[in-house]
């Protein structure tokens, strides 16, 4: 008798099933991504314990730097002419883009995810580039400190925030993430190590942020730290027109008592501006204390919309740690487009809200595995920087092109590099506004590449800024 041969799974069928789940049954992704994320986190938790304490893999920072130097010099010895880049897998990146350039580069392993030291007298912390902002801030909070700028997504790395740019609602007082950095350690293309400060090498110190690794491989960063205040008094102000929103925005920017400013634009006729001041426990008074980051709480952007539904202004007190994490569970509102609104329903939040968010990198890997480019073409993820005087017109243009809502607004204090202020076409008192457009566009047959080029051309014409870490053409 002939042996029966077992048929191999049809790859086309698997692709169709995967694409169908991602495009038509996104709720089903919860049963894939959430368990996978929990297993991954569980494994990594015990792996780090084993790696650091049982296996005693306690390489010093200096040894790690020498390892990077050896890899760079090995490339020179081999006569390899390819460009260098880090070997970090592209699926771990927060951007939706496929970073195919890495496949053509000479990849350098940079296993640097430790907090090196903290100097409380000088108010400095020294960290390796793969430390995430979530890990760093959790560490600092236990000692009564925080960094002045805490970007909202825990998974963002310090190296990425330096090399790719970082912004947060306290940027109105401190500028961009690079402006709280005081020292960089860099392995240059010849394998040498350069300690870069404003005094030692002003040109390189100013050029390194936003350089995406083109000037060298980052191996350590020194950052400012400030005393942690446990609460923030947060005031929400609803506006009904763009003109009113810009006016309220301008008033908040001029108020020197404000530590944090943020805006959410829900439509042409509804925006909510928020201002916050960090306070001590004895300053709470009679305000309601809202622990926003509890697993059963509404997603922040829906909470903001609700509290001003029937009133023009509302004030509450939020624990600072909860405030730092307010956008983390739904990745602002991207989870809405991926899983639908069910994840924000009490029936999901109360029993399963603690599982959020799933690994964004896993979702990215699935999308690129099963979707064709035209299937993910309606997703927009970009940040633009406009001056406050251009904001109304910019919002109308973004609406015309994408119809994506909500839109995130975050004002940024403009701090030009020292000694080249005269070369800057913005005045020192300029306030830029980060306009964050994240989500799936309802525009039928949106051509993402074409729209992106239109938006970038608009920014260039307005002498505005395009963030390169998001979707770009």
* Residue 156 · residue 250 · CB < 8 Å: no
Q: Can you give the pTM of this predicted structure?
A: 0.88
CA–CA dist 343, 349 (Å, integer) = 6
- Domains of the chain by residue range: 108-227, 231-466
Q: Pull the structure tokens for residue 179.
A: 């402006």
Q: How far apart are CA 173 and CA 261, in angstroms?
A: 10
Return the CATH number of the domain spanning residue range 108-227.
3.30.465.10
Does residue 357 have a cis peptide bond before it, meaning omega lies within 30 degrees of 0?
yes
- What pLDDT does residue 16 have? 66
Q: Which residue has the tokens 């202020």?
A: 421
Closest to 251 in 3D by CA, of 313, 294, 296:
313
Cα angle for residues 294, 296, 298 (degrees, 5° grid): 95
pLDDT, tens digit only, all 473 positions of the chain = 444 445 555 556 666 666 666 666 666 677 777 788 788 877 877 777 666 665 555 689 999 999 999 999 999 999 999 999 998 877 667 666 667 788 899 999 998 999 999 999 999 999 999 999 999 999 999 999 999 999 988 889 999 999 998 999 999 999 999 999 999 999 999 999 999 999 999 889 989 999 999 999 999 999 999 999 999 999 999 999 999 999 999 999 999 999 999 999 999 999 999 999 999 999 999 999 999 999 999 999 999 999 999 999 999 999 999 999 999 888 899 888 877 788 899 998 999 888 888 877 777 666 666 555 555 567 888 899 998 989 999 999 999 999 999 999 999 998 877 766 665 555 556 788 999 999 888 988 888 888 888 999 999 899 888 888 766 55
Distance between CA 413 and CA 432 in Å, rounded? 7
Round to whole Å and give the CA distance between 394 and 281.
40
Sign of the C-alpha dihedral computed for residues 350, 18, 366 and 447 taken in this order: negative
DSSP-derived letter for residue 289 is B
Question: Which residues are bridge partners to 218 per DSSP?
Answer: 186
Residue 201 CB contacts under 8 Å (≥ 6 apart), including other chains:
194
**Spatial distance between the Cα atoms of 436 and 441, rounded to a whole number of angstroms:** 14
Neighbours of 380 (CB within 10 A): 24
d(C-alpha 367, C-alpha 356), whole Å: 19
3-state DSSP call for residue 444? coil
Instruction: Tell me the CATH number of domain 231-466, given options 1.10.760, 1.20.120, 3.40.462, 3.30.70.
Output: 3.40.462
- Closest by CA position to 220, among listed 182, 168, 192, 176: 182
């Amino acid at each position: 008798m002939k042996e029966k041969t077992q048929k191999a799974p049809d790859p086309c069928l698997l692709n169709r099933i995967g694409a169908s789940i991602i495009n038509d049954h996104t709720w089903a992704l919860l049963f894939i991504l959430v368990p996978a994320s929990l297993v991954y986190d569980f494994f990594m938790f015990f792996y780090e314990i084993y790696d650091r304490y049982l296996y005693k893999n306690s390489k010093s920072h200096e040894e790690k730097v020498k390892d990077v130097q050896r890899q760079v010099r090995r490339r020179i010895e081999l006569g390899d002419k390819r460009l260098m880049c880090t070997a970090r897998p592209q699926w771990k990146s927060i951007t939706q883009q496929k970073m195919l350039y890495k496949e053509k580069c000479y990849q350098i392993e940079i296993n640097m995810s430790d907090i090196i030291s903290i100097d409380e007298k000088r108010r400095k912390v020294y960290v390796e580039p793969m430390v995430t902002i979530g890990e760093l801030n959790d560490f600092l909070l236990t000692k009564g400190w925080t960094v002045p700028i805490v970007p909202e997504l825990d998974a963002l790395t310090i190296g990425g925030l330096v090399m790719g740019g970082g912004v947060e609602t306290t940027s109105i007082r401190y500028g961009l993430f690079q402006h709280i950095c005081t020292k960089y350690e860099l392995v240059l293309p010849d394998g040498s190590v350069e300690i870069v400060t404003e005094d030692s090498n002003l040109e390189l110190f100013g050029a390194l942020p936003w350089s995406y690794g083109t000037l060298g491989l980052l191996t350590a960063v020194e950052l400012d730290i400030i005393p942690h205040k446990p609460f923030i008094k947060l005031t929400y102000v609803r506006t009904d027109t763009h003109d009113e929103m810009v006016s309220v925005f301008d008033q908040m920017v001029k108020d020197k008592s404000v530590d944090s400013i943020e805006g959410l634009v829900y439509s042409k006729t509804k925006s909510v501006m928020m201002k916050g001041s960090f306070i001590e426990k004895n300053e709470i008074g009679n305000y309601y204390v809202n622990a926003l980051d509890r697993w059963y709480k509404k997603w922040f952007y829906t909470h903001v919309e609700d509290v001003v539904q029937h009133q023009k202004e509302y004030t509450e007190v939020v624990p600072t740690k909860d405030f730092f994490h307010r956008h983390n569970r739904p990745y602002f509102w991207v989870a809405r487009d991926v899983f639908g609104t069910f994840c924000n329903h009490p029936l999901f939040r109360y029993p399963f809200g603690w599982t959020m968010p799933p690994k964004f990198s896993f979702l990215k890997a699935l999308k690129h595995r099963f979707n064709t480019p035209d299937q993910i073409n309606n997703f927009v993820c970009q940040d633009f920087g406009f001056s406050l005087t251009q904001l109304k017109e910019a919002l109308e243009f973004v609406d015309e092109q994408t119809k994506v809502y909500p839109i995130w607004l975050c004002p940024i204090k403009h701090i030009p590099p020292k000694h080249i202020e005269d070369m800057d076409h913005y005045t020192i008192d300029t306030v830029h506004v980060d306009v964050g457009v994240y989500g799936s566009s309802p525009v039928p047959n949106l051509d993402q590449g074409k729209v992106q080029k239109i938006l970038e051309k608009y920014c260039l014409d307005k002498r505005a800024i395009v963030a390169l870490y998001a979707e770009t053409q």
